[in-house]
Amino acid sequence: MIHAVSRWLIRFWIILGCAVLATVPAAAQSLVPAEEAKAPVQESDAFGRETPRSTVTNLLSALASDDFTRAANYLIAPDKDDASQEPTQDEIETAARLAAKLNALLDAGGRLTPFARLSNDVAGSIDDDLLPQLENIGSLSLANGEEPILLRKYADAGWRIAPETLQIVEAASADEENPASQTSFRVAGAPVLDWLLLLGVAIGTFLALRLLAQAIIVIFDRILGSTRQRSIFRFLHAAMPPLALYASVLIFYSVAGKIEVGIIVRQTLLRYAGIVAWVALVWFLLRLVDAVAGSVMLRMHRAERRQAVSIVTFLRRVAKAILFAVAAIAVLDTLGLDVTTGIAALGIGGLALALGAQKTIENLVGSVTLIADQPFQVGDAAQIGDVFGTVEDIGMRATRVRTLTRTLVSIPNGNLASDRIENYALRDQFLFRHVIGVSYSTDADRMEQALTAIRTILRDDPDIIDDDARARFIGFAESTLQIEVFAYFRTTSFVDSLAMQEALLLTIMRKLAQLDVQIAFPTRTIALAREQFTRLRSAEDHVDG
C-alpha cells in the first residue's frame, strides 16, 4: 500500500509540475498586451529603489557612510519627459545638502518605520489612506509638530523621497537639527555614545526581565514543593526564559523610539531586534511543544497507551520542523533576502525532490501509515520479516527494533508495507499444547484413568480457559502412546505464561506417576524368527570355539 501511495504521489507531482510549466508561460503571454510583448525587459535599478523597503534600506546605508552624494539619488525627482536622464551637478549638490539636513533631522527625533513593517512590494502598501503612488515611511519631529516622511513612486524610476517631504526638510530651521551627531565620534555612521546607550538599554532590559522570570520560577517552585512534575511548573519553567527575551524586545521597541539617538543606530538595532523577537518566539514555541509533549507522553505511559506515545513523538518532530522553517524564512526576510522567489520555487523544487528522493517520501508515507494503522507500538515484542525484538522507536524514516542479542536494527518504514508483521504483545491468551508420550506398557484402563486425571487437572486450574481445554489420546507413535493436551492460559504476560506452563506440567507429571503410567522414551524392539535366532547362536558359538 505504501509503495502504491508513494508512486501515485510522485505521478501527481510530475503531472502537476508539467501542467504548471506548460500553462504559466502561455497564461503570462496572454496577459501581456501586444504592444508590450516585444518591449525589452527593464533592468533593475542601480540604486535599489524598486520597493519602499529597498529604498529606505539603501538610503540609510548611504547616510551611515556619510555618502550624501549617493543619498542624493533617493531625493532627486526624475525628469518628467525622460526618466533615464542623469541629474545635473547642481541638482546633485542641492539634493546632497538636503540629504545631510534630513539625516540631522532624523537624528534629532525623527522616526522611520521598522524594517519588517516596510512594504517589500513594488506597488507599496495599497491599504493605507494615501494615494497609490505615495508611501508613509516615518515622521519628523519639528517645532510645529509631527510631519510625515513620504516616498513617491515614479514610473520607470522607482521610489524616492516625495517633494512634499523635501519642502518640509528645506523649511526646517537649523535649531531643529541635531548638531551633536555631526561632531561626536562616529561608528558606522552614528555617534558611538548612541550605540552604547541603546545597547545598554537592550541588555539591561533583558537582564531585569530574566531575573524577574527566574524569581517567578523560584516562587512557584517553593509553593509547589517537591512536586516538580506538575504541569504548571513545567509550563513556567519552559515559558519564562523565552518570554523574558520576547518581552525585552517589545519594551526595547517602545523605548528606542523615544530616546534621542541617531536614526542609523535606532533603525539598525530595531531591525535586528526583530530577528531576536523571532528567535524568542520560536524558542518559546519549541519549549512549549516539548513541555506539552512531555506531559502528554507521561500520561500515555501511565495509561500504557504506547501507540499514542509514538504519535505524540511524530507530531512533536513535525511541529519543530515547521517552526524552524518559519523562523528561517522570517530571519532571512529581516536580513533583506527575497524569500518570496524561493517559496514560489518550492513547487518545482518539490517536484525535483520527489523524483530524486522516492525512498524518502515512501518512508514518510510509511510513517503516517504506521501511526494510523497501528500494527505495533513502542515497547511491543514483534516479528518483522526475519527480525524479532522489541520496538524502541517509530521514527519519521525508520523503525528501530532491539533484538534478543541486544543489537539495534533500523527497518525503513517503507519496507514494512511488504513485510510480515507478527505482534506478540497483542496476544490476549497464551497457548499450551503438548503431546505427552506414555509407554506401550500402559493398558487401555490406565490410559482412560490418565486422560480423566489430566482433564480434571485442566478443569480445576484457575489459570486455564475451560472453553477449549482438552486432553485426548491421539494415536500410536513408533515408541509411545500419544496424549495431546490443549489449553489456553488466561494471561497476556509471556513471563506469567511460562510459570503457568511449568506448574501445569509438574502437576501432570506427578499425577501420571501416581497412576503408574510411565512417560516413554525412544525405544526400539527387534523381533527375529526362531531359525534365524538358531543360526546366529551357532555362529557365535563357532566363533567362540
41 band by pLDDT with thresholds 50, 70 and 90: very low
Using the structure block, give the residue that is written with the C-alpha cell 562616529.
186
Could you report the per-residue pLDDT of 504-532, keeping only the tens digit for each?
999 999 999 999 999 888 776 666 566 66
Could you report the per-residue pLDDT of 311-356, keeping only the tens digit for each?
677 778 878 888 888 888 777 776 666 666 656 555 555 565 556 5
Angle (CA) 498 503 507, round 5°: 145
pLDDT of residue 25: 37
Domain 52-183, second-level architecture: Roll (3.10)
pLDDT of residue 190: 63
Q: For 342-375, give the DSSP string.
A: HHHTHHHHHHHHHHH-HHHHHHHHHHHHHHHH-S
CATH of 430-514, one of 3.40.1350.10, 1.20.1050.10, 3.20.20.70, 3.30.70.100: 3.30.70.100
Number of H helices and E strands in the chain, helices first, is 17, 14
Q: For 452-466, give the DSSP string.
A: HHHHHHHHH-TTB-T
Write phi, then psi, for 159 (nearest 5 degrees): -95, 140
Helix (H) / strand (E) element for 444: namely helix 444-460
155 band by pLDDT with thresholds 50, 70 and 90: confident
Grid cell digits, residue 144: 510645529
361 band by pLDDT with thresholds 50, 70 and 90: low
List the domain boundaries for the chain: 2-37, 52-183, 190-344, 430-514
Q: Evaluate if residue 152 carries a pLDDT over 70.
A: yes
The alpha carbon dihedral of 390, 393, 395, 398 has a sign of negative
**Rounded mean pLDDT of 296-321?**
72
Q: Classify residue 119 by its DSSP letter.
A: -
pLDDT of residue 31: 32
Q: Evaluate if residue 21 carries a pLDDT over 50.
A: no
Distances (CA, A) of 74 to 106, 195, 263, 307, 418: 16, 26, 17, 62, 66
Could you report the per-residue pLDDT of 406-430, keeping only the tens digit for each?
999 998 888 887 788 898 888 889 9
DSSP three-state, residue 480? coil
pLDDT of residue 122: 83
**Rounded mean pLDDT of 462-474?**
90
Q: Evaluate if residue 488 carries a pLDDT over 90.
A: yes
Q: For the purposes of burial, counting CB atoms within 10 Å of the CB of 67, is it exposed (0-12), middle (13-18) or buried (19 or more)?
A: middle
pLDDT of residue 299: 75
